[in-house]
Each structure stands twice: as C-alpha cells, then as structure tokens.
A and B are shown apart, each in its own frame.
Chain A
C-alpha cells in the first residue's frame, strides 16, 4: 500500500539556523499537505501543493513539490523558538480507494 516516509525524525537547531524536512512517497501523489503540531496540541493545516514542481512560500517557510510528485520538502529559514513542534506531511494518491496518508513527522526543537 501507499507509504509516506518523512526524514529526519528529529532535528535540533540553534535559533537562527535553517531547517529542512523531507517527505517521500512510494507512489505518485495527487497532492501533498503540510501540518504543524505544537507540543500538546493538534495538527494544524499549513499548506497544500498540487502541481508538479510547485513552490509556495509563507514568510520564512518554503514548501516544494517534486517534479515527479513523489516527494516534497519544507524549509524554514532562520528558525525561531515559535517554530518548535512536529511537522507532518500528508499525501493523497487521488484515487477513489486511497486516503490521505500522514508521515510520522519531524520533531523540531530550537535552542534559543
């Protein structure tokens, strides 16, 4: 079945450093979504990408969808302590049989 792998599992950075998390699917995706979950909180939708090679930015966050629509990345420039949390990607294969599959997430900690 469809699998969505996310790396790294954990990332510790110094405040001001950049951070990137990667998401890879075993199958071609129709779309990819990114969520952020603060410690003790719930996943919150950040963005959705649907086009091959698509790049979207939200302030210091840059999201990219691969040309083959099998991988995606989230890059944070100059991390801040408010960026702490777990970042999940979730991919859908678009088929009637498939569901949105969440990766295991990358837990980001930021040292001030």
Chain B
C-alpha cells in the first residue's frame, strides 16, 4: 500500500522565493496534517484538514504561509515570500476517522532557504 507521498524531498532556494510543498495522503484517510520540525522547536502542527476543509490553522506562523486541499488526494503548503528562518523539515501526515487516531507520516521535505 502506498503511504503518504510528499514532494519534493529536498528544496533549496533563495530568500524571497515562493516555495510550494506537496502532499498526497493515504487513500481513504479523511484527516491531513502539516507539521514543521526543527531542532529548537521540535514537531509543530501548522494546520490540519478534515474532509478537505481546514479546521485549525492556529499553528501557521504568519501570513506568508498558506495551505490548501483542493481534493481528498492532494494538499499544498505554500510559503511566499520565504525567509531563512523557514528552513526546516516539513512533514505531511494523514489519519483515518479522527484527529486523535494514529498518524501516518510522509518522508518529509527538507527545506533550506539561503
């Protein structure tokens, strides 16, 4: 079975550029989560969706971050404009039938903003 698929795996770009991260959840999962992981702050929840609808975006750092889920099999996290402090590993995860159910994580996108 295919797990959560994220792309790209690595992204290096210059400050000020737009960055788009992509995620395909496990088929049939109705919850999708975006996390950011850094050494200093650990694993932080940015936003999550239920049935393609954003439910809680209180973890989104600022207006430069936006996320969409146009359908059940695709979500994007966009940063515009990007800043060096956005450098981190971004994970997408999905779960079935509840936000407190076990989450399945993708391999992550390692983002470096120069």
Contacts and interface: CB of A to CB of B under 8 A. Distances in A.
Interface of A: 30-31, 33, 41-45, 48, 88, 92, 94, 99-105
Contacts of B56: 99
Contact of B104 (A31, A45, A100, A104): A45
Interface of B: 42-43, 45, 48, 56, 91, 93, 99-100, 102-108
A88 B45 CA distance: 14
Contact of A100 (B91, B103, B105, B106): B103
Given A100-B100, A104-B42, 4 more contacts: A33-B103, A99-B48, A100-B99, A102-B43
B100 A94 contact: yes
Contacts of B102: 33, 45, 48
Task: Specify the main secondary structure of chain B where it touches its partner.
Answer: strand
Contacts of A105: 42-43
Contacts of B100: 30-31, 92, 94, 100
Contacts of B42: 102-105
A45 B104 CA distance: 7
Nearest to B44: A102
B99 A99 contact: yes
A39 B96 CA distance: 26
Contacts of A45: 102-104
A104 B42 CA distance: 5
Contact of B99 (A41, A42, A92, A104): A92
Contacts of B45: 99-102
